[in-house]
Amino acid sequence: MAEHNELGKSGEEHACEYLINKGFSIREKNWRHNKDEVDLIANHGNYLVIIEVKTRSTLYFGEPQIFVNKKKQAFMIRAANAYILKKDIHLETRFDIISVILSGDRVSIKHIEDAFYPTL
């Protein structure tokens, strides 16, 4: 597996552990619909939470969350719509981003709730 793929997988594992410790219930990991993918889908309270995890080893190019651009958001929204329809879910839905910095033995996690809102 390529080094950047291993970094991303490790970041998703840290994000999962973080969310579980915060009371989230993980429903899906790396859920796909056609070409669209959602890293994590969870329940938290009365919400279905669609989560993008961005992992970096350095802040050299900026905070990881800035790389969740409009195109990536559109992919997430399409996948979330498909998931909600397929599973017949009737919960409020929000889109979160988890930014993970893995540097040596240090792990830094930043959770951004309601990171963006779907637009019509």
pLDDT tens digits, residue range 27-74? Answer: 999 999 998 999 999 999 999 999 999 988 766 676 768 778 999 999
Rounded distance, CA 22 to CA 81, Å?
25
CB 94 within 8 A of CB 73: no
Quickly name the fold that domain 3-116 has.
Trna Endonuclease; Chain: A, domain 1 (3.40.1350)
Per-residue model confidence (pLDDT) at position 66 = 79
H-helix or E-strand spanning residue 74: helix 70-87
Per-residue model confidence (pLDDT) at position 3 = 56
pTM score above 0.75: yes
Q: What's the Cα-to-Cα distance from 3 to each of 10, 48, 56, rounded to whole Å?
A: 11, 31, 11
| Short-list 10, 1, 3, 5, CA closest to 102 | 10
Rounded distance, CA 117 to CA 120, Å?
10
Per-residue model confidence (pLDDT) at position 104 = 80
Rounded distance, CA 119 to CA 21, Å?
31
* DSSP for residue 91: S
Helix (H, G, I), strand (E, B) or coil at 81: helix
- Other beta carbons within 10 angstroms of residue 62's beta carbon come to 9
